């Protein structure tokens, strides 16, 4: 972790930084809660490989449920699931983080290796941030203009779910994020045996035009 890296920890600082991005803590926390509940709903009878995928899918859906009513939009280009800011300036991706997630004094990275789509997104971040950093040796990595892609990192320990919203700026050849431009620490969710409540985000009603198939 770079020593001069901005890390937001204080609740007021976190709230102010998120507000400048058109965000609040709640939709991010809602995604983290749904992610955790998906994990614990699985049993030994479920295929092990499906647990992480299902939890990630629930987190993506929950984040979109919270942000789409506020004008954010979905993007699934090349099956890379993002939620995009109304002005197109930034997007949010969701990923499992390692044990450093949510700990401001620790280095942090993604838990599972990332591929070309993440490399593309980080190369765009480098262009937008005017950073002269090496790119991983992957096919089709581009440096075009586009939104800054932030990562909502989620990590489950025995005591809590930790999460942060952070801006990656470098990816290694093995698909690990090795540098961040900014980190925003989000409130952890304690796992003390109490129920984790999931509340549906409030927002304006959406008119959906339902038509019968011809």
Residue range 20-68, pLDDT digits in tens: 999 999 999 999 999 999 988 988 898 988 888 999 999 999 999 999 9
Residue that is written with structure tokens 């506020």 in the block: 70
CA–CA dist 20, 209 (Å, integer): 33
Q: Which of 60-69, 96-105, 118-127 has the lowest mean pLDDT?
A: 118-127
What was the pLDDT predicted at 204? Answer: 38
pLDDT at residue 73 tops 90: yes
Q: Report if pTM > 0.95.
A: no
Tens digits of residue pLDDT in 158-167? 999 999 999 9
pLDDT at residue 138 tops 60: no
The DSSP 8-state label assigned to residue 175 in this structure reads S
pLDDT at residue 211 tops 50: no
Residue 209 — pLDDT band, cuts 50, 70, 90?
Answer: very low
Residue 144 — pLDDT band, cuts 50, 70, 90?
Answer: low
Q: Which of 30-34, 91-95, 143-147, 154-158 has the lowest mean pLDDT?
A: 143-147
Residue 179 — pLDDT band, cuts 50, 70, 90?
Answer: very high
pLDDT at residue 210 tops 60: no
What was the pLDDT predicted at 3? Answer: 47
Mean pLDDT of 188-197: 69
List all residues 6 or more positions away from 196 whose beta carbon is below 8 Å from its beta carbon.
33, 36, 37, 189
Residue 142 — pLDDT band, cuts 50, 70, 90?
Answer: low
| In contact, 118 and 175? CB cutoff 8 Å | yes
What is the phi/psi pair of residue 186, to 5°? -105, 155
CA–CA dist 46, 56 (Å, integer): 16
């Amino acid at each position: 972790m770079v020593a001069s890296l901005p890390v937001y920890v204080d609740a007021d600082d976190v709230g102010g930084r998120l507000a400048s991005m058109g965000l609040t803590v709640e939709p991010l926390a809602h995604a983290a809660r749904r992610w955790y509940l998906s994990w614990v709903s699985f049993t030994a009878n479920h295929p092990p490989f499906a647990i992480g995928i299902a939890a990630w899918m629930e987190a993506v859906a929950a984040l979109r449920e919270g942000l789409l009513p506020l004008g954010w939009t979905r993007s699934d280009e090349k099956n890379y699931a993002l939620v995009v800011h109304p002005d197109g300036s930034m997007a949010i991706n969701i990923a499992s983080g390692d044990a450093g997630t949510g700990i401001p004094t620790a280095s942090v990275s993604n838990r599972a290796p990332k591929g070309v789509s993440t490399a593309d997104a980080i190369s765009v971040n480098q262009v937008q941030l005017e950073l002269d950093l090496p790119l991983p040796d992957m096919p089709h990595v581009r440096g075009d203009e586009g939104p800054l892609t932030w990562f909502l990192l989620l990590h489950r320990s025995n005591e809590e779910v930790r999460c942060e919203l952070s801006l990656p700026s470098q990816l290694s050849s093995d698909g690990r994020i090795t540098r961040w431009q900014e980190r925003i620490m989000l409130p952890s969710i304690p796992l003390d045996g109490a129920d984790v409540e999931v509340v549906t985000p409030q927002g304006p009603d959406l008119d959906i035009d339902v038509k019968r198939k011809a």
